[in-house]
Amino acid sequence: MNGRAIANTVSLPNAAPNLQMVGFLKAIAAPALTPALSVTTDSRVAITAADALATAPIEASAVLSLNGLVTATDPNDFYRFNLAQSGVFTASLAGLTGDADVRLLQDKNQNGAIDPGEILAWQWERGSTNESIRRFLAAGDYFVQVMGYNGQTANYSLATGFTPAVSDSQAFEFGITFGQSLSALTQAARDAIASAAEFWESLIISRSAITRSNRLDLVIRGESLTTANGSPDTGTLALSGPQFDLDGPNLVISGGISTINLRRLAEFNANPGYLRDIMVHELGHILGLGTLWEPVRFANSGGTIFEVGKTLIDRTTTTYRANTYAGWVYGELLKTFTQMAIPIEAQIFAHWDEGRFDTELMTPFAETPGVSVPTSQLTLAALRDLGWNVNMGAAQAYALSGFAPVPTMAQATVQPTGARSDRAAYRASCACRTCLAASKVHELGSSSGLSRLIL
């Protein structure tokens, strides 16, 4: 759980005596096979923009500064570089006359193609907004890609930087504590929960204002959940929500609590992979997905009110607002390429709509064990809307398929029926009275002297 493996396995070679930030010895390779744009920024060094990953020559330096152009017929420029030691790599894209994106890539399997897990950083800004990425890298071969979005023509200025370092001072991590109530949880199941945490650690690039810390403390505990009328609740898998601390006058996420339903414990012990998928979803709630889509208010003993959270959803239309990063992603999924309001689950309000998004991670009902539950760009964009720095390139493949029509408001209040009624619900905690009573989450540390205001 301690940071990236990448940070712990790299040993820094003896520092070169000169001030060269990036050391490597390869000469500039032969010109790319396809026509390439060459921009000279230094009388000694030509920078070559290749049209394909496979044909990109290694540049003379990882520190690049150049102007380029992508178009509908030439949508990609690849720049390859080599790092002789680990450190923090940055890239910025500015001067855009259209929408282009900058991405950091590593061809891990060296097949000349971009495969899942090979996009290391992608900020994903729409319009002609500047972009900037940052990633701690081990020594090795990497690529910067400038990519036109949806066939747009864009002039761009690309600048990259590299600062040697042995580890990443901004690496994000979860610290996990298992409660006594989970003593019957097997080691394999605990490892599955750790793996769920590592999934988020790998795609949250650095700390941000929503936490102001590199680390979130997680408490995982067990409870035999009961329904509102006191009968055993066998349908709920787990409940989770963030905890907050005051940072000056601001509430920030300090950690979270996940409560696993002990009535399902045998199932989790028997199928750790299923538990992992469930916990990826649950930790999403701790990061604020669903739980901070609306403001949450606390008061101290003196009556001062503190608020945390955003105004991302509209309960009257049961949608997540269009004017968001997630709204852009939904427009891309619908192929309108405009910002679209996103259906969310009626009554719960803390998930994407199950009928529309089905297997996506942050829908309210879990899938059959073994069915893949992709963490799509929609969910990663929603993290960005909350203020997290994430790698949009870590999103898993997802497409809308055979979805039902957008529910009307009347339909939207109907509970899932039929085949879905036997599905287990993750049941997020939300800001309503029912959820608060059921989940006992959103607790502040006792030292903070704050109490939650019930809406």
Q: Which H or E element spans position 380? A: helix 377-386
The Cβ-side half-sphere exposure at 207, using a 13 Å CA radius, reads 17
**Bridge partners (DSSP) listed for residue 232:** 226
Q: Which of 7, 51, 64, 98 binds Ca ion (CB under 5 A)?
A: 51
From the CB of 362, what's the least distance to Zn ion, in Å?
7
Applying CB under 5 A, does 345 fall inside the site for Ca ion? no
Binding mask 55-94 for Ca ion (x = CB under 5 A): -------------------x--x-----------------
Q: Which is nearer to Zn ion, 265 or 441 (CB)?
A: 441
Strand order in the sheet with 87-94: 65-70, 154-164, 87-94, 131-137
Which amino acid does the sequence have at 412?
A
* 177 near Ca ion, judged by CB under 5 A: no
97 forms part of the interface with Ca ion (CB under 5 A): no
Task: Report what 115 binds from Ca ion, Zn ion, none; CB cut-off 5-8 Å by kind.
Answer: Ca ion
**Six-digit token pair at 103?**
């991405």
Contact 51/101 with Cβ under 8 angstroms?
no
150 makes contact with Ca ion (CB under 5 A): no
CB of 122 to Ca ion, least distance (A): 10
Residue 74 contact, options Zn ion, Ca ion, none, Cβ 5-8 Å cut-off depending on partner type: Ca ion
Nearer residue to Ca ion within complex by CB, 42 or 115: 115
Contact present, 291 and 430 (Cβ < 8 Å)? yes
Residue 83 or residue 280: which is nearer to Zn ion going by CB? 280
Show the CA angle centred on residue 288, arms to residues 333 and 91, nearest 5°: 65
Residue ranges that bind Zn ion, judged by CB under 5 A? 426, 428, 430, 432, 435
Assess 99 for contact with Ca ion (CB under 5 A). Answer: yes
142, 365, 398, 426: residue in contact with Ca ion (rule CB under 5 A): 365
Distance from C-alpha of 128 to C-alpha of 96, rounded to nearest angstrom: 5
* Structural contact between residues 378 and 352, judged by C-beta atoms closer than 8 angstroms: yes
Q: Give the nearer residue to Ca ion in terms of CB position, either 12 or 39.
A: 39
Please report whether residue 332 would count as binding Ca ion according to CB under 5 A.
Answer: no
> Closest separation between CB of residue 157 and Zn ion, Å?
42
Beta-carbon neighbour count of residue 127 at 10 Å?
10
CA triple 173-177-179, angle to 5 deg: 155
Nearer to Ca ion, 21 or 159 (CB): 159
Inter-axis angle of helices 272-286 and 187-203, to 10 degrees? 40
Instruction: Please give the residue ranges that form the binding site for Ca ion (CB under 5 A).
Output: 51, 74, 77, 99, 101, 107, 109, 111, 113, 115, 125, 363, 365
